[in-house]
A and B are shown apart, each in its own frame.
Chain A
Amino acid sequence: LGLALYASSLRGVSGAAFLYHDYCVIGAGPSGLQAAYFLQQAGRDYVVFERSHAPGSFFALYPRHRKLISINKRYTGKSNSEFNLRHDWNSLLSHDRRLLFRRYSRDFFPDADAMVRYLEDFASLLKLQVQYNTAIIHVTLERDRQAWNGHYFLLTDQDRQNYKCSSLLVATGTWVPNVVNFPGSEYVEGYETVSINPEDFAGQTVLILGRGNSAFETAENILGVTNFIHMVSRSRVRLSWATHYVGDLRAINNGLLDTYQLKSLDGLLEGDLEDLAIVKDKKGKLHITLRFYLENRNTSAGIDSVTLPQDELDNFATRAPYDRVIRCLGWKFDFSIYNRSLRMMPGKGNKKKYPQIKPSYESRSTRGLFVLGTASHSVDFRKSAGGFIHGFRYTTRAVHRLLENRHHGVPWPSTVYPITQLTNSIIKRVNEASGLYQMFSILADIILLRENATAFEYLEEYPVGILAELETQTGRKAPNGLFVVIMEYGRNFSGADKDVFYYNRAVGEAQHAWQSNFLHPVIYYYKRLPTEREMRLRPPDWPLPRPDAVHHIVEDFLTDWTAPNAHILPLRRFLENCLSTDLRNFFA
């Protein structure tokens, strides 16, 4: 609190050069607005910078064909609002019941314009502090030992206006289109500008670079009017229903897979785009060749001297010339605005489009800089939903709770229950909690046992990657052991190559629950908080280190884990044996 007071007094001192805020949020997209909502609710001094004149500018342009692939399930047969969020992938979290996405669209896959309207309403109805038309073009640090994190963040906008912030929340998403440079890449049209009118493709032969949802969405749009479409990418198709990762190819866009496998002229190829080259012939047709050949040729020679693969291999797959080549390679984080002192580094391997962050969503190198939203997806890339609204709305809330504890002495919210309610509180959460469900294996409920296990404290949706730091991060104490409630898929069930429809894929008996394949609750019991070392040395594919005991609640077809004998009874036995007590009810 002393720090906060000091910081606010600083506003007067710092003079005209800087406008000061405790929290600066860059980007008024879904995650920026979500962060703003929590900061506002907590009464914090914050501002959101948005370069556009309205929130959610990404959605004003993307997806180009306007169909959101996040589901808008309006009916679940249940009135439980928390449960219903499990199947509402578009709403942000708020107390305002008007701000549920189902009020904005009747479509299961809604139009992106609805999202833009929704975000506008979210910002205005909740009176969030968004400063529009402010593009932050530079971020640097100012060392100050008095500052919350040992430094202030200095932000500069396009008008050279400077801002000073104690904490920086980066919610800029990934908006810089991925491009590849190869000879002839100047003939390639980008997804961001390509025509979305199918008529423009009538009778054309199209090559699409990329294999993500944007590529398939583009193909889907023109499938009916083109001669044929070829799609080339380095990686194989990953179907989201096989990988249970929503970022992989969704079934709604996969019409091209159909036409490819039914030999209706369209096709998929694997190859590295870096090796490609495109040459344009006199008729304006585009030919695929290899960089390899271009490097060997005499540069002064004309187009006809270029070797095409089919010259050597007369059945070369992509020997037919194309009318258009479209690039749909996704986006990456904008690293350009950060001063070197912030050391915003791209991730490794397939995470290089995201900045490096810790499981607490804080930058690896700059304390006080948190990355929210899509840009924070490196934590659970190809695993959970942290890169999407229905996932990062929860991780943003988690970050806010971490900040409340760190800077304002507000411990992580918790409820204390008598031990008799232990089974009930777990059953309640695993049946309705949306954060646990969407951010499976990433966010977990933590049950801290009180002395003698007569009562317990329940903390919701804590980032499980920083379990070892629980006491400092939440301001709660865990001296008497803890339970971690998390949801998991079976470890070897899904994957790009796996048959996820094999017979007997579902486990029905409680005693075989640990072999459950579909999303199901798992409860870990630790007699003491795991250390950082134990977290680091945990088995691969395990969200947590080896517990003292573990319980799986058997997967359920209806995801309804309230069956007295199959779900609740084994759970009670597990809890009883961990606590060495009897948790039964008796009639007096």
Chain B
Amino acid sequence: FFCISVSPGAQPFLEQIENSAEALQDYGVSVVKVNCPKEDVSRYCGKENAVRKAYLFRGNMLIREFPTDALFDVNSIVANVLFALLFNEVKYVETLADLQKIENALKGRSNMVFAYVPATGTAEHRAVMEAAFAYGTLHQFVLTTEATLLKDTGNDESDVSSARLLFCHCQQATDLAEPCRRTAMGQTLTMLNIHRHLKLMGAPLVTEVAEDPEKVSTVHLQLGLPLVFILSQKETYEADRSTAEFVAWQLLGKAGVALLSRDLVDLNILLRSNVALKTPDEGVPIKYLVLEDTDEVITLVEDKNKIEQIQEEEEEEEEEEDEEEKENNNQDIQDDQVVEAVSRDKKRELPLEQILVLTEETFHSALLETARTVVLFYASWEAVSLAVLRSYTEVADHLKGTRGVLLSRVNCWDWPGVCTKENVTQLPTIKIYEKGERSVMYNGMWGTEELTSFIMLSRVSCPLKLATIDEAEGYLRGEFPSELSSYHHTSLLGVFSTATSEAREAFEEAGNILSGHVTMGMYFEDDALALSRKYAVSPPALLLARSGGRSVEGIALSKQSAQDMVRMIRYESLDIFPEITVQNLPRYLQFRKPFLILFSDGDTSQMESKEMLKLAKGRPQQAFVACWLNLKKTPVGRGVLKAYFATMPSLPVLVWVNLHAGGQVFKFPSEQSITEMNILSWLEKLKAGLEIPSSTLSEEDWKPPLPAYDFLQMMETAVPELPLHTSHRHGDTPERHPPESPGGDTAVREEPAQETKAEKVGSPGRDLRGTAPRLAAREKQGKRHSKL
């Protein structure tokens, strides 16, 4: 290749030709690049267009010049160069007549390899040329790019876009009128496949064998193909020979055929067997078969290949299954996310400095030191405990500097006595102890926020006695007590006249129970009547201030027990049309009522909330919980919707779901607008059973995620004689008997009989008579005693 200067257009070609240099080397072709000096105006450098060509020389003779755009990659370079070099060995034909002329000329002399490539310069072309380089002297290679030639050679089913190679057995052909027999190569045209095919074609059609078939090895076996033996006898030799040849032609390229004469080899096989099959796999014994006709032989081989393929596939699948099974059998892999998270973090030390460690000795004295002591009872080995301990340190951080609250912890693994005495039946447990007095157990979520809020609310006595009407008003506005002003909660105020002590006591008791969860105040000064009148109730009454006192409801209190009051307060302090979050869901679930949920991507539209609020407010003692869920804030809602509807419905979507009875899910028709009226009439239809549920949630329990080790079965497999069912007793080990079971008189009575039997059988030392002579006897015992 000559170039004047490295022009940018020639750069890709230069790379390719450099890459092909090595491949060409194998065929004795060197690649040279000549840098033409500017002033050189010789034959190659001088010509204007010469620099876009590559030249092939043999010696100093120019053979061919190639336009560089025909040499686009290594394959095309090698193919074209060899094509030029093997001009005589590889005939290029364009017409059928040319092909027939060549074929006829070869008959009786040599075989022909006929290849069709859709285009020159391809990988297939290169493969054919490379094969021709190796076998060109042996067979006549014929190449064409004409698809019509391919069709005429009888390969009509093949599509013309893929290259084909046919081996034409012209050497043995005698009839000039008939085309040579052809054997098509089944595989794609690669150098290796062509080589393999030509090898097979070159092998004798039928091999005659006179030795142990186990020792026979032919080209076919070496190339991974099976070998079919036709078992022959002297009497039928001629017929067998022609059968073998017929079969061989059928199986050409798929299997080898050998003719085995039974008379020459001593075979220990059935006399009836007429065919044997030897597979290339080592160690697989030869199969001897009794077959009816040649078709069976052919199907045997072809099916064998098929079966093998299927088996291979199956094996692969099985392997995959095995792997899957192994994966499923991950019993020893932690699947508890809390345990997993805790052990992942086990090396990270928690900043526990701010949390006082209490022991059996210090527990009681510590409780007396601060107004309120928060105690986390935990076990250092327990995962949830450690996860909560983490949130607890964050709580400690939040409450740093807060007066009157001491955060502490007791490790129940170190001090089980304290935990038992404090009635800790769950790990972890958080309790708030009021100086030397009562304690409140926390039963909310373990998150930092919830815990902090609980502790903060617990700081204020519940219910809080309000002294003046101003305090009471301030309390309703959420301004008093000041330490709670940052915690927005529904405030409850019990208003009592001095006479109604019964209701007040119940209220106070309810306050004790609800401490930490709600803010409760009470007012029972002389002017309580005035306060209650302002909100249109008369004492005893409950004032409910939502959202910072903007709306205050009055509820009359009748003669309720503390428990009833707790229930009522819990219910009343909930929001009317709440946004459901993971944290507050349990509070609403506890009513065990159906849910009417509006799933919304982001905030609900004002119109929708207005209508829903109307709906929810309209029926104060609702038979359902009306709420909404913000998918942006609570992404798990998407999973919920998917469980309900399989696909995501368009948002917003209003859903009626009754988790506690039947689990039916109904979807409010999306074409209707969400208005109180529409919803109500829809609910009526639901009630009347006129609507079809979108889905029904299964009542499937929480099943074990994975099986356990079946030790019982392992014991039975490992120790089959283990009498797990029967009561076989060993007489010779009476001391190892389990204690007699109550009422086991029969068993006890059996024992002595067995013992005496055992004593007679063996265990010297036991028998009284046996021992005396043994201590003295001279014959056998002498040795033993001297040794003693």
Contact = CB atoms under 8 A, between A and B. Distances in A.
Interface string A233-276: 01110000000000000000000000000000001011110110
B709 interface: yes
A89 B412 CA distance: 23
Interface string B696-731: 000001111111111110110000001111111110
A275 B768 contact: yes
Interface stretch (A130-138, A147-155, A476-484, A540-548): A540-548
Contact of A81 (B382, B417, B711): B417
B785 A570 contact: no
B709 A580 contact: no
A209 B468 CA distance: 93
Contacts of B724: 539, 546
Nearest to B380: A562
Contacts of A316: 775-776, 785
A550 B724 CA distance: 12
A549 B701 CA distance: 21
A58 interface: no
Given A511-B332, A541-B736, A536 B711 contact: no
B381 A431 contact: yes
B230 to A, nearest CB: 55
Contacts of B777: 313
Interface stretch (A218-226, A298-306, A463-471): A463-471
A250 to B, nearest CB: 19
A79 B426 contact: no
Give the most central of B582, B723, B755: most A CB within 10 Å.
B723
A421 B709 contact: no
Interface in B325-378: 331-332, 334-339, 341-343, 359-360
B722 to A, nearest CB: 7
B723 to A, nearest CB: 5
B765 A272 contact: yes
B41 interface: no
Chain B contact-residue range equals 35 or more
Contacts of A291: 772
A40 B384 CA distance: 40
Contact of B339 (A383, A469, A539, A585): A585
B771 A79 contact: no
A581 interface: yes
Given A580-B701, A581-B701, A588 B582 contact: yes
B415 A79 contact: yes
Given A380-B739, A536-B747, A552-B711, A417 B771 contact: no
B703 A580 contact: yes
B739 A540 contact: no
A234 B788 CA distance: 14
A147 B414 CA distance: 46
A572 B336 contact: yes
Contacts of B416: 80-82, 428, 432
Give the most central of B710, B733, B741, B786: most A CB within 10 Å.
B741
Nearest to B705: A582
B760 to A, nearest CB: 15
Contact of B741 (A292, A535, A546, A565): A535
B737 interface: yes
Contacts of A585: 336-339, 383-384
Contacts of A317: 785-786, 788
A267 to B, nearest CB: 7
B427 interface: yes
Contact of B776 (A313, A421, A465, A532): A313
A316 B775 CA distance: 8
A79 B703 contact: no
B487 interface: no
Nearest to B338: A585
A43 interface: no
A569 interface: yes
Given A292-B772, A564-B339, A577-B704, A510 B739 contact: no
Interface string A283-321: 000000011110000000000000001001101110000
Contact of A573 (B337, B414, B709, B739): B709
A537 interface: yes
Contacts of A569: 331-332, 334, 336, 339
B708 A570 contact: yes
Chain A contact residues, majority secondary structure: mixed
B162 interface: no
B743 interface: yes
Contacts of B710: 549
Give the most central of B703, B730, B734, B776: most A CB within 10 Å.
B776
A538 B740 CA distance: 11
B413 interface: yes
A81 B421 CA distance: 14
A429 to B, nearest CB: 10
Contacts of A465: 738-739, 741-742
A588 B381 CA distance: 21
B741 A536 contact: yes
A124 interface: no
B583 interface: yes
Contact of A513 (B359, B360, B381, B711): B711
A317 B777 CA distance: 12
Contacts of B339: 564, 568-569, 585
B788 to A, nearest CB: 4
A271 B337 contact: no
A93 to B, nearest CB: 13
A586 B705 CA distance: 13
B379 A275 contact: no
Interface in B739-758: 739-744, 747-748, 751-752, 755
Contacts of A78: 414
Given A275-B775, A585-B338, A550 B331 contact: no
A576 B341 CA distance: 21
Given A510-B332, A539-B728, A562 B414 contact: no
Contacts of B742: 358-360, 465-466, 468-469, 532, 535
A567 B339 CA distance: 13
B736 A540 contact: yes
Contacts of A378: 739
B765 A270 contact: yes
A573 B707 contact: yes
A359 B705 CA distance: 40
Nearest to A417: B425
A269 B741 contact: no
Given A270-B765, A275-B775, A573-B331, 4 more contacts: A358-B740, A427-B382, A468-B742, A564-B343
Interface of A: 78-82, 234-236, 267, 269-272, 274-275, 290-293, 309, 312-313, 315-317, 348-350, 358-360, 378-383, 415-418, 420-421, 424, 427-428, 431-432, 442, 465-466, 468-469, 510-511, 513-514, 532, 535-543, 546-547, 549-552, 562, 564-565, 568-570, 572-574, 576-577, 580-582, 584-588
The 3 closest A-B pairs by CB, nearest first: A562-B381, A576-B704, A582-B702
5 contacts: A275-B775, A315-B782, A514-B709, A535-B742, A541-B738
